[in-house]
């Protein structure tokens, strides 16, 4: 946060290129991690991660109908997680942040805007700096908790790059009082399963982000909270910026459209996470001594969200928790029983084939009616518009490493 303070005057004199000052966000997150500690990844840990992901891919072969989705296996420290996922966070947060910055500009009376002239851009710059600083703190906290690139259910990293964070896996294993190598292998199974799903279902990345964006579009900006936060700023004391808390500025609109958007978002997050849980537990079988304990711990962890994830949700108004995770896991298990592995995975062939929120209540009925899926798929037009396909992030950095 001290770095944030030292650069404030420079930031106010140069307008940013968007609603969030992402350079500042990255600097604040890096500063926070430096203070808390960000252990470097040792050669032993890199080899252990690569071996765990290799074994995970072998175990997943009979549990899924798709081949490996991993092109690169890497071990990241916490700073690398932030750097490699920042482009996706920008996509998720910019639409919400732009509404906050617009609301800040609206606080300036119309008669005063004409007098401010070019200085009006300083309001937007201040908003971008405020939001960037707060996001940096949230991402720094999240980086100290996440275990892999796909840990929170979104494809945050470069496509085809499976990444684990050894320092966080070690700390999480100590909390569970389980061997580190067993926890690492279970995390690797989850990461490899995420990679298979998002690599071989090309429309899914865009579908998930569209669900997030549609929900974000219905978030209301609490102008009173912005006004209260801005009232804490003393222009003669830059350190007064540290006292600003932007939590509570964004709240969901209580409308039928917004409730429908939330339901779609929660459904797709639950379906992704439920498929991963079912496939990983099937692949691990009796190979991992503590697989039942690990599976239950991870389900609780994803359903509840950690402290950093809750902070992020309070800041931008987005909760990335699959609330119906257990029901989704049961649904995928029922599909496997009725349709087999290939038939279960064929449901991912198009977004219109996925179970709806109502199907969670009766997974057996959905699985039974899906027994005619082969005929449906044979007549289905997969070229019809579904969800927009997301362009994969630039993988140049990973290919160089």
DSSP letter, residue 74: E
Query: What secondary structure does DSSP assign to 90-126, as a single string?
Result: HHHHHHHHHHHHHHHHHTS-HHHHHHHGGGHHHHHHH
How many helices (H) and strands (E) the chain has is answered by 18, 4
Cβ-count burial 259-295 (b if 16+ within 10 Å, e if not)? eebbbbbbbbbbbbbbbbbbbbbbbbeeebebbeebb
Nearest Cα to 154, choosing from 27, 311, 302? 302
Instruction: Enumerate residues 6+ apart whose C-beta is below 8 A from 240.
Output: 232, 233, 234
Percent of the chain with pLDDT over 90: 40
Average pLDDT in the 49-75 region? 97
pTM score, two decimals? 0.81
**Hey, is 10 helix, strand or coil?**
helix
pLDDT in tens, 290-324: 999 999 998 888 777 665 566 666 656 666 666 78
Per-residue pLDDT band for 215 (boundaries 50, 70, 90) equals confident
Residue 200 φ then ψ, to 5° = -105, 0
Q: pLDDT value at position 13? A: 44
Q: What is the pLDDT of residues 231-259, one digit of tens each?
A: 665 555 555 555 555 556 666 667 788 78
What are the residues facing 74 on neighbouring strands? 163
Length of the chain: 401
Report the distance separating Cα 103 and Cα 19, nearest Å.
12
What tens digit of pLDDT does each residue of 137-187 get? 888 988 999 999 998 888 899 999 999 999 999 999 999 999 999 999 999
- Is the Cβ–Cβ distance between 63 and 279 less than 8 Å? yes
Contacts of 279 (CB under 8 A, 6+ apart): 60, 63, 64, 193, 332
Higher pLDDT: 136 or 379? It is: 136
Contact 361, 217 (CB under 8 A): no
User: Is 330 buried (19+), middle (13-18) or exposed (0-12) by CB count in 10 A?
Assistant: middle
Task: Give the Cβ contact number of residue 121 at 10 Å.
Answer: 15
Cβ(129)–Cβ(11) below 8 Å: yes
């Amino acid at each position: 946060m001290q770095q944030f303070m030292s650069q404030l005057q420079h930031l106010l004199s140069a307008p940013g290129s968007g609603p969030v000052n992402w350079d500042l966000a990255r600097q604040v997150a890096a500063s926070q991690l430096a203070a808390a500690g960000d252990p470097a990844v040792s050669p032993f840990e890199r080899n252990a991660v690569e071996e765990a992901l290799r074994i995970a891919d072998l175990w997943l072969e009979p549990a899924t109908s798709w081949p490996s989705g991993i092109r690169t296996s890497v071990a990241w420290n916490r700073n690398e997680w932030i750097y490699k996922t920042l482009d996706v966070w920008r996509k998720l947060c910019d639409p919400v942040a732009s509404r906050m910055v617009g609301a800040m500009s609206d606080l300036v009376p119309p008669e005063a805007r004409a007098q401010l002239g070019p200085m009006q851009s300083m309001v937007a710059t201040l908003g971008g700096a405020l939001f960037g600083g707060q996001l940096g703190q949230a991402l720094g906290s999240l980086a100290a908790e996440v275990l892999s690139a796909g840990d929170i259910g979104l494809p945050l990293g470069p496509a085809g790059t499976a990444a684990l964070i050894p320092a966080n896996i070690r700390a999480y294993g100590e909390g569970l009082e389980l061997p580190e190598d067993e926890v690492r292998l279970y995390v690797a199974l989850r990461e490899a399963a995420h990679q298979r799903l998002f690599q071989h279902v090309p429309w899914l990345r865009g579908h998930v982000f569209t669900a997030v964006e549609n929900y974000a579009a219905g978030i209301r900006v609490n102008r009173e909270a912005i006004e209260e936060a801005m009232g804490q700023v003393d222009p003669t004391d830059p350190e007064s910026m540290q006292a600003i808390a932007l939590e509570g500025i964004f709240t969901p609109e209580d409308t039928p459209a917004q409730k429908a958007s939330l339901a779609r978002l929660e459904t797709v997050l639950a379906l992704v996470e439920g498929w991963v849980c079912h496939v990983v537990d099937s692949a691990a079988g009796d190979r991992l001594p503590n697989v039942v304990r690990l599976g239950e711990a991870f389900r609780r962890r994803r359903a509840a969200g950690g402290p950093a994830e809750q902070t992020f949700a309070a800041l931008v108004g987005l909760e990335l928790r699959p609330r119906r995770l257990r029901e989704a896991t049961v649904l995928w298990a029922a599909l496997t029983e009725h349709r087999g592995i290939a038939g279960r995975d064929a449901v991912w062939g198009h977004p219109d084939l996925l179970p709806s929120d109502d199907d969670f209540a009766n997974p057996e009925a959905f699985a039974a009616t899906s027994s005619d899926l082969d005929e449906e798929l044979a007549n289905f037009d997969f070229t019809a518009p579904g969800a927009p396909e997301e362009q994969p992030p630039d993988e140049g950095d990973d290919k160089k490493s």
